[in-house]
Each structure stands twice: as structure tokens, then as C-alpha cells.
Amino acid sequence: MKPTSVLFVCMGNICRSPTAHGVFRHKVRERGLEHVIAVDSAGTHNYHPNSPPDPRSQKHAANRSYDLSDLRARQISNKDFEAHDLILVMDWDNLSLVEEICPSIYKSKVRRLTEFCLTMDSSVVPDPYYGGAKGFDHVLDLVEDACEGLLKQLTIGTPT
């Protein structure tokens, strides 16, 4: 059986989407679900091709035991729409940009990550790039909550 594949998308693929990628991958591995859930990330823009995540994202993630060091930035491509079952964007701009290039047959795959939040109330995961440390911690708080909700939804009825 083909694993359910989740793609996280932000603007440059160096802050929010690799954070979501690393957090969700960690949670998937922790539960031994790598055989049923695949994880990837991309950006709407090609600002940082093949670059590692922002050092601040890596530092804040590492403080919570998430390793992002192996991830590399890339731009979303046409093949992603077919390859992934869920394409989860971080904010309204990302949603608009992804929907603009998404073939109509795959539009139902595109959603906001925060739709899966269990306890936090936010319509978006805000971009921490130009802010301080609090922004990166807030991103992690939202991403952890949303990833728990996403995992819960994806594993209902899934044997481990």
C-alpha cells in the first residue's frame, strides 16, 4: 500500500515548511508510522534552492528535539500535485499561490495546516523570518499542535 504523502509549503522553504516537515516526520517516526505516512516540504518561491533551513529555525527546533539539518529548500513543482495526498500551506498568500498553479483536478488536496490545530486558534502559521525568537517559538507551537491534529486524522483506523 502506498503511504499517505504530505507536503508542507511556505514561501521560501527555509522556516515554516521545513519546521512542519521536521516536526511531523519526528511524530510519524515516534509512532512507527513511516510505512504509512511520507513527509516532504517545498516553497512557493525559489529563493533558497538547496539551502538548509534558516539557522534560527534549526536552533529553535533542536531545542525541542527536532532535527531539520538534512532538509534542503526547493520550489514546489507540477509533479508535487500528483505525488502528494495533502498539500498543506502556511498562510493565505501561500494558499493563493499554490491554488493558482495547482491543476483543478488536485485542488481538493490543498489546505491550510492550521485547519488541523487541536487547541490553538490561528488561521495561519505566521512567517517568523523578519522577527525575533518569539516568532520561531510561536511557529513551533502552532506546528506541533497542527501536526498532532493531522496525525490524529490520518491515523484514525490505521493499524500500527
**Which residue in 10, 15, 102, 147 is the catalytic one?**
10
Does residue 10 have an active-site annotation? yes
**Which residue in 16, 25, 56, 74 is the catalytic one?**
16
Task: List C-alpha distances in Å: 67 to 16, 19, 25, 28, 127.
Answer: 14, 9, 10, 13, 20
Q: Which long-range contacts (CB under 8 A, 24 or more apart) does 108-112 make?
A: 109/81, 109/84, 109/85, 111/86, 111/87, 112/88
Question: Computed over its alpha carbons, how large is the radius of gyration of the chain?
Answer: 14
**Which residue in 40, 127, 145, 147 is the catalytic one?**
127
To 5 degrees, how large is the angle CA 47–CA 61–CA 70? 55
Does residue 16 have an active-site annotation? yes
Does residue 54 have an active-site annotation? no
- Of the CA atoms within 13 Å of residue 117, those in its CB half-sphere come to 17
User: Catalytic site residues?
Assistant: 10, 16, 127
